[in-house]
Structure 1
Amino acid sequence: MKRFLSGFLIGTAATVAAAASVVLTVKKQVIDPIDEQQVAHDEKRKRAMRKSAAR
């Protein structure tokens, strides 16, 4: 029973670690670039609004 419990706990810890690494990878590969694009788009929009108001 002791070997089963230790194997179960190690397996659970490995699964949690794998899930956490997937979440972090998705955040770094997908979510962060989208946020950067939105920030760049907002800056361009603000710059364009300033230019149009200056004319």
Structure 2
Amino acid sequence: MKHFTKGFLFGVVATASAVAGAVFSFKKKVVQPIEDQESRFEENRKKANRKSHSAHHGY
């Protein structure tokens, strides 16, 4: 029974670490590039808005 408990706990830890690694990898490969792209679009929109207001001097 002692070996079963050790093996079971090791399996649980190994599975949890594999899931955590998969989630981290997914975030790094999929989510982060989308967030970076959205932030660049937002930054460019703000710059264009400022430039538009500056060119017209508020008129």
Q: What TM-score do you get using the length of structure 2 for normalisation?
A: 0.86
Shift of residue 19, structure 1, vs aligned partner: 0.5
What amino acid sits opposite 1:6 in the alignment?
K
User: Aligned pair count?
Assistant: 55
Shift of residue 52, structure 1, vs aligned partner: 1.2
Identity of aligned residues (%): 45
CA distance in 1, matches of 2:26, 2:8: 27
**Structure 2 residue 27 is the aligned partner of structure 1 residue 34:** no
Shift of residue 10, structure 1, vs aligned partner: 0.5
Alignment of 1:1-55 (within 5 A): 1-55=1-55
1:3-54 Cα offsets, whole Å, 9 max, x none, are 1111100100000000000111011111111110011001110111012112
CA distance in 1, matches of 2:11, 2:51: 59
RMSD: 0.8
Largest Rg, 1 or 2:
2
Query: Runs ≥4 in structure 1, deviation > 4 angstroms?
Result: none
